[in-house]
Amino acid sequence: MFRIQHLQSLGAAVVAFGCLLLGGAAILSNYNDFQRFGHGAEEMRVFVLVLDSANAISAERGPANVAMAAKPSELDEALVALEQSRAKTDDAIAVMIEALTLHHVDDQARLTAITEVLESLNTGRMAVDKVVAVPLEARTTLHVPLAIMAMFRAADSAADLRNEVSGHLVPTTPQIAGEVLLASSASALREQAGRLGSYVVMTLVAPRDEDANYALLMDKTSAIILNIWESGLNNAALFSGNDTIASLVERVEAEYLDDAMPMAIATAHIMGPTNGMSGGSFTEVYVPGMASLESLRNELVELSLTMLETRRLQARQAMIDSALLTALVISVLIGVGAMFRRGLFTPLLALHGEVVALASGDLTTPPKAGNAAREVNDIFEGLAILRENQREKRRLEGLQRQMNLRLKRLSETDTLTGLLNRRALVQRADALFRRAKITGEDMAVVLFDIDHFKNVNDTHGHSVGDEVLAGVAREIGLLTRPTDAFARLGGEEFVIILRRVDLEQAISIVTHFKNQLHRNPVQQPLQLKITASFGIAMRLADSDESWDEIFRRADQHLYAAKNAGRDRIVSDSADTAQRIA
């Protein structure tokens, strides 16, 4: 037959389980979002490093162009600047490779793209170094363009790697796809702006009859720059709603599109190679105009990272909110169930429990059952009266047991010293001997008495003598171990059973006892010190000697110590009158 309580509990459990399933699904979904945005942030940081490397490769062309166009008097300074630029590029690439291989060590496409970047960059640098090594007057018109084109290929490889990384990033976190694409466009814009400058340098160093070729490349590059700009970057502020980006868009338009780029085209088309401006001079004027492009790209990247972190935190908060809501609903269910239990089922179960407890002898007063019916409370009161009667009976029985224990303790304890008396010692010795037989341990029985104790009583009185006996028990008791047995046989005679000792250890311990009595007064007011004589009998683990036999042997050693002049220890050793100083 079922119980209503069980039916109510089953219903609450089913509802709670459903809440757990729904809450768990919400928590899992939010947790997946939290993980995805965290992974997207990692990918975005890798993407930033790729952009930094691509930018560094593009920026390296400026010092390379200056070095290739430098006059002999300017070459050393140009080479120093080139080496510094290459060092920055190498550092950026090293950091990028470490991040890429750390997060995507098995991604063959990325490893191939990295290899292509390194190989093409090395080829481009070799081409630049080859041009620089040729004296200015000995170069052909193809030296510089070929080197610049080689550096272009390195930049193209970096752009391929950038596109490959962004291609992984956008599917992972489509929420920031627009920002990623804008950042890629800004990086591409920076690269094309650099190429435009390189074409101008080619124009400045090439004969006039080749200007048409470079003019065509500059026009094509200018069209690409404007197309990249108008395909979304010019509206980046509207897309992002960010005031900083809006300001940077205006800067790009003012500093580069309206100033630096027209200046570059004018330098090549209007003034031509006879204007007296060298490649290095042009680069020094042109490169600062591209700074706003760098700033725009960096701000777009920072915006993407901020958005990822914000959404990651939002996902975490949603996960926490789901967990709290689930816990709240389950708590409410538990609370409702507790109210039913406390108001309906608990009083009845408590009544049953009290009856069973009382029948089994449990007289503990249980907590009062709340919200119980009056009839149930009447039964509780009747049980309380019965319990009180049983408790009084048990109290009287407990007093009787305590009295019996006190009498037993008095019968086993020496009232003067608090030590075991002779009867209790014999019982303890029998138990220790049986245990030693099982555990295989040696033990020593030490019998000692106070030297010339009668003189203490005769000189100072029996009360002082009692204090001396108590003092001896105190001093020696401080040195005995918890496993040892210490007893007073009567008068000034004491016995100690030392467990787990051989003869040498027993003599060492007893010597310590004897020295303790030498050093410390056993009766404080008169500062009385005494000496004692000791007899030691060993009982080996395999021995069958009884207590009486061991005691008799220890007693013989004690009398031997006294006959030898007292204040001595005599043991089972060959020297029956051995004295321990």
For every residue of 238-279, DSSP letters joined together read HHH--HHHHHHHHHIIIIIIIIIHHHHHHIIIIIGGGSS--H
Residue ending a domain, choose from 266, 301, 320: 320
Order of strands across the sheet that contains 569-570: 485-490, 493-499, 443-450, 532-539, 569-570
287 shares its domain with 435? no
Q: Which of 23, 77, 69, 556 is nearest to 322 (CA)?
A: 23
CATH for 517 = 3.30.70.270
Structure-token pair, residue 432: 């220790």
In a domain, 402, yes or no: no
The DSSP 8-state label assigned to residue 500 in this structure reads S
Dihedral sign (CA 554, 560, 564, 570):
negative
> Does 448 lie in the same domain as 314?
no
Six token digits for residue 271: 């003034």
Question: Are 555 and 436 within one domain?
Answer: yes
Q: Report the distance separating Cα 456 and Cα 386, nearest Å.
A: 63
Q: What's the structural domain count of the chain?
A: 2
Domain boundary residue, one of 320, 352, 377 = 320
Q: Tens digits of per-residue pLDDT, 382-422?
A: 767 877 777 777 777 777 777 777 766 767 788 899 899 99
Within a domain: 330: no
Q: How far is CA 341 from CA 4, 8, 13, 16, in A?
A: 11, 9, 14, 17
Question: Are 271 and 133 members of one domain?
Answer: yes
Longest dimension (CA), the chain: 143
Separation between Cα atoms, residue 349 and residue 344, nearest integer Å:
9
pLDDT at position 579 is 43
Residues 316 and 426 grouped into a single domain: no
Q: What are phi and psi of 562, to 5 degrees?
A: -70, -40
CA distance 221 to 194: 10
Q: How far apart are CA 316 and CA 32, in angstroms?
A: 10
Q: Is residue 222 part of a domain?
A: yes
Q: Is residue 115 one of the residues assigned to a domain?
A: yes
Virtual CA dihedral for 382, 387, 390, 394, nearest 10 degrees? -170
Q: For 322-340, what is each residue's pLDDT tens digit?
A: 888 888 888 887 877 666 6
CA separation for the pair 112, 457 (Å, rounded): 107
DSSP symbols for 414-435: -TTT-SB-HHHHHHHHHHHHHH
pTM to 2 decimals?
Answer: 0.48
Q: Do 435 and 312 have their domain in common?
A: no
Distance of CA 238 to the CA centre of its chain: 45
Pair 531, 567: CB distance under 8 Å: yes
Per-residue tokens: 334: 């538990």
Q: Give the 3-state secondary structure percentages of the chain, helix then strand then coil, rounded to 5.
A: 75, 5, 15
At 531, give phi and psi (nearest 5°).
Answer: -120, 165
Smallest Cα–Cα separation from 555: which of 499, 511, 493, 509? 493
> Coil, strand or helix: which one is 445?
strand
Last residue of a domain, which of 286, 320, 354?
Answer: 320
Antiparallel, parallel or unpaired: β 443-450 and 532-539: antiparallel
Residues linked to residue 443 through DSSP beta bridges, in sequence order: 499, 539
CB atoms within 10 A of CB 279: 24
Question: Does residue 415 lie in a domain region?
Answer: no
Q: How many CB atoms lie within 10 A of CB 274?
A: 8
Q: For the segment 66-109, what is each residue's pLDDT rounded down to a tens digit?
A: 888 777 877 888 888 889 988 998 898 888 888 777 765 456 77
326 inside domain: no
Q: 310 and 445, same structural domain?
A: no
Element (H, E) at 539: strand 532-539
3-state DSSP assignment of residue 451: coil
Q: Report pLDDT for 208.
A: 67
Low-confidence ranges of the chain (pLDDT < 50): 105, 273, 574-581
pLDDT at 459: 92
Structure tokens, 260: 């630096």
Same domain, 426 and 550: yes
Nearest to 77 by CA among 58, 95, 63: 63
In degrees, rounded to 5, the angle at the alpha carbon of residue 376 between the alpha carbons of residues 375 and 378 is 65
Q: 173 and 63, same structural domain?
A: yes
**Separation between Cα atoms, residue 49 and residue 93, nearest integer Å:** 8
Q: Is residue 359 part of a domain?
A: no
Residues 74 and 204 grouped into a single domain: yes
Do 149 and 285 belong to one domain?
yes
Q: Is 133 exposed, middle or buried (0-12, 13-18, 19+ CB in 10 A)?
A: exposed
CB 47 within 8 A of CB 87: no
Q: List the domain range (segments joined by +) for residue 472.
A: 422-570
Whether residue 203 is contained in a domain is answered as yes
Distance CA 567, CA 565 (A): 7
- At 574 the pLDDT is 45
Structure tokens at 300: 């777009």
Query: Where are any strands of DSSP class E within 429-511?
Result: 443-450, 485-490, 493-499
Q: Are residue 439 and residue 308 in the same domain, yes or no?
A: no
Note the residue count of the chain: 581
